[in-house]
Structure 1
């Protein structure tokens, strides 16, 4: 039974409209893991310091550990589970496997989401751009170089964003 403070919230998660009745102050991470069963997004520090909980909100990497679900009505959230298509991994997920970039893997869902956002902006990021995009993610296993190579590898197989010209072409 809903608590007296619970409110309805509708948002899109991994392409599916989700309607919940919940405390609007509840963290998105809690809703994803406990109510929606999407456990790929990890709880790390709960303080926006490690990046393990990063998801995409309207395409932007965002911490889910502190983001209140009530602020997300009508927004789109993508988790690591929502990246693949038709049973295939996203190119960055595959590249992370190919480069053996995960040891314990705890940080990889957040790193993957930040890398996917970077590759959506530019499929050929420089090493410095990759390092800057992933800077807020902590990894105790020391696989940073492998992660950078994986982002470069994924970018090589992605189509570059289509440039639009003003001439209607």
Structure 2
């Protein structure tokens, strides 16, 4: 796997055109098979923070559920049935919080020009990443830049109606990436 780390290689276009690299731009890394679009540095930090908070809360609920039974005097006045219900509720809350933490992973979009497919992957980016979805280039109906004020989101629309987010940031910074994606996906008219 080839990974470029120079700023002019990590982002679409040259630094002369797009200016200095900012932490709110999506990261584009060239690979030998195509390229990978990842969330901006600021988004990855926010996702990691939210995931850490959810994991800590899940751990606290799990320990409290076990502590009801293990610590003497933790629930002295409770009969076994209310203890069981309370520990089941805390265990359920721990499971729900853990599931929510797993959902706060950074999802990257891999554009494999060699095989003609898009892949949604997650994970740390080291080793083999878990694949969430694989779509052929023929399943793509368009690449759209959706703007909301000063922020924009690049969206890859599939023929089945699903939408794959491909990056957020300043619309002026996302337009070259939109054009590159449309060209690489061989969309008619560069849609």
Both proteins in one fold, TM over 0.5:
no
Higher strand share: 2
TM-score, normalised to structure 2's length?
A: 0.22
The structure with higher relative contact order (CA 8 Å, sep 6+) is: 1
TM-score, normalised to structure 1's length?
A: 0.24
